[in-house]
Amino acid sequence: MMDKSLFTLGGAAWINLLNTVVMRNKQPADLLADPEIIKSWLEENGLLLPDIDHPSDQVNHDRLRNRLAALRNMFTQVLNDLECQGSLSASVFDEIKTYTEALKVKLTTSCQGAKLVLEYEGKTPMDHIGYTIIRSMFDTLSSVPPDRIRKCEHENCILHFVDVSKSGQRRWCSMERCGNRRKATQFYEKNKKKKA
């Protein structure tokens, strides 16, 4: 059974998509290879649309997986740029611009009493999913400095997260997955030294 919080611990949909590559037995494993995992990932990120064809449909699944993987590649480049130079390179920005400006999204408005609601709807499911995910990146990059986007400190973990804590001291993808694991190792090492 997959750890449920794995798909949302990044704190933003685009980081959650990056986190679909995980370390397993010291090898990177692509979770998007499994249609059921794609479905869970979409669901937990609020993206499982009623009109998405059933992921057991192989052609559809392949298309969806390829689109998500392409988007994920772009985000990997974004992270590389931010890590290397603290800003986006012109080529990565162009790629983002091209992707974003090709999305077809319709705005819808509704009114509930005094409350006005502005929503969006993709022309196709992939427009909807793509827009939601890429918008989360715009939101992150316009609201936090790049050093708040971090890799988990555990040496065998490649998961990322957006640190939105007040102190900015978050170190682990999650306490359960890595924080405690690390503490347990340190405790073990300390006791081993004492005994030696």
When binding is defined by CB under 5 A, the residue of 12, 18, 78, 178 that contacts Zn ion is: 178
Residue 9 touches Zn ion, criterion: CB under 5 A: no
Stretch that binds Zn ion, among 50-58, 92-100, 105-113, 167-175 (CB under 5 A): 167-175
DSSP string covering 15-58: HHHHTTEEEETTEEEEGGGSHHHHHHHHHHTT---TTSPPTTSH
Name the residue among 71, 47, 177 with its Cα closest to residue 125. 47
Residue 96 touches Zn ion, criterion: CB under 5 A: no
Q: How many CB atoms lie within 10 A of CB 170?
A: 19
CB of 126 to Zn ion, least distance (A): 30
With 0-12 / 13-18 / 19 or more C-beta atoms within 10 angstroms meaning exposed / middle / buried, residue 136 is: buried
When binding is defined by CB under 5 A, the residue of 128, 150, 154, 170 that contacts Zn ion is: 154
DSSP string covering 74-121: HHHHHHHHHHHHSS--HHHHHHHHHHHHT--EEEEEEEETTEEEEEEE
CB of 84 to Zn ion, least distance (A): 22
When binding is defined by CB under 5 A, the residue of 38, 134, 149, 157 that contacts Zn ion is: 157
CB of 159 to Zn ion, least distance (A): 5
Spatial separation of the C-alpha atoms in residues 23 and 29, rounded to whole Å: 6
Joined together, the tokens standing for residue 3 give 């750890």
When binding is defined by CB under 5 A, the residue of 32, 64, 126, 173 that contacts Zn ion is: 173
CB of 179 to Zn ion, least distance (A): 8
CB of 121 to Zn ion, least distance (A): 35
Query: Would you give the binding string for Zn ion spanning residues 111-150, x where CB under 5 A is met?
Result: ----------------------------------------
In degrees, rounded to 5, the angle at the alpha carbon of residue 194 between the alpha carbons of residues 188 and 196 is: 100
CB of 81 to Zn ion, least distance (A): 23
Binding interface with Zn ion (CB under 5 A): 152, 154, 157, 159, 173, 178
